[in-house]
Amino acid sequence: MAFSFYMPDIGEGVVEGEIVAWKVKEGDRVGLDQPLVEVMTDKATVELPSPRAGTIVKINYRDGQICPVGQVLVVIDDGAGASASPAPAAPHTTGSPGNHGAAPRPAAPPAAPAAPAAAGAGTGAIQLVDATAARPRVLATPATRRLARQLGVELGQVQPTGTHGRVTTDDVRGHRASPSPAPDRPAAAYAPNTIAKAGDEERIPLRGMRKKIAESMARAVHTAAHFTYVEEIDMTELVAVRERAKARAAERGVKLTYLPFIVKAVVSGLKKWPQLNASLDETTQEIVRKKYYHIGIAAQGPNGLAVSVVREADRRSIFDLSREIDRLGEAVKAGTATREDLTGGTFTISSLGKLGGVLATPIINFPEVAIIGVHKIEERPAVRAGQIVARHLMNLSISVDHRIADGWDGAMFLQDVKALLEDPTTMFMEMV
């Protein structure tokens, strides 16, 4: 009998996935747990295994298309004599031997038009709406829907600004406060930009990792109120400390870079300036100060920019940080980084290493509050005790969400980081 495999709820807050590549085609025989398809969410790329052995009857979403959670992804004829109850299988994270962490919540099949089915509960939950219903499909949390009912606002009429077209509580309030446009004067909207052919060109579909990066950057710029502050750091003493420590690190199989030292200085600064290790809960209108320190490392990967996350950075030694940064970097390059490797950061460090340039204004890794840009270290002339001397200088730039933190917070935080990097002895005293 035909078995419908619904797009599973891959992770908290995930409402849809983009089909990256099918491993099978219609008519193929598949075994239980055989890889079916790679799906990309805003969290990570995962590989979905077959929940049944049988024959692929119909593939409903092709490469590059978006499949909402709870919709039929593929139909499999399992040869059973009776109808089987459809239930999504737990996904396997790309590059990992099996399922990591708790199994995701099973997604219910689409409900009848009169009674849309809900998945999850509480803040951050998602709502699945029958795609065949007469009403337009609207993504919104239960709290947002409740507010819309209280204010008498039709969600289908609200312009969404949240991720993946989600309607937020601010969208509802803004719609309620805005006068309705006159019938002969429709609300203004930006038309999609069309590029006419003007010569020899190559057209590449915007999808996969590049599309996720584009969506994330656009949301960050249009949501967070960015401001940037820059400071020059004298790294001369730290350069000497690293040179002395490289041999000891090599004995332990560690390739020692400057990043672990920068991570330690950043964590120390965040403990003094907790407003920068925070996020804004837009639903409850609360600033969430996080007392854990998961530091994101933004770097270029084979498929574009990726942010890997060093968890519990405050509890790790310099050597341990080096090992973890190396492990994450290799996983990103190989395409084997798990969802846990790429999510959950509280603050991000963006570094291009030797290509770091002189200055940049990094874009905040939303919904974090701040990001540091690390630039190249080079010998430059500096004035010390009235003398011009050669010093190893580096610029650090910090972008901060001005909605949550003030310029004072960002400047003082960077001054604390500067003091620790310029005097490594003080940094080691600060370590926990």
Q: DSSP 3-state assignment of 261?
A: helix
The secondary structure of 271-295 as a DSSP string is: HH-GGGSEEEETTTTEEEE-SS--E
pTM equals: 0.61
182: exposed, middle or buried (Cβ count in 10 Å: 0-12, 13-18, 19+): exposed
Q: At 57, which helix (H) or strand (E)? A: strand 54-59
The answer to whether 302 and 333 have CB atoms below 8 angstroms apart is yes
pLDDT of residue 358: 83
Q: Is the peptide bond before 367 cis (omega within 30 degrees of 0)?
A: yes
222 as an active site residue: the answer is no
pLDDT of residue 432: 54
409 as an active site residue: the answer is no
Stretches in the chain below the pLDDT threshold 50: 83-136, 180-189
What is the tens place of the pLDDT at every residue in 249-266? 999 999 999 999 999 999
Closest CA to 223 of 166, 274, 277, 162: 162
pLDDT of residue 350: 93
User: What letter does residue 391 receive in the DSSP assignment?
Assistant: E
pLDDT of residue 311: 96
Residues contacting 332, CB < 8 A, separation 6+: 299, 301, 302, 306, 308, 341
pLDDT of residue 176: 65
The answer to whether 278 and 404 have CB atoms below 8 angstroms apart is yes
pLDDT of residue 328: 94
The one catalytic residue among 320, 406, 409, 423 = 406
The one catalytic residue among 92, 100, 164, 402 = 402
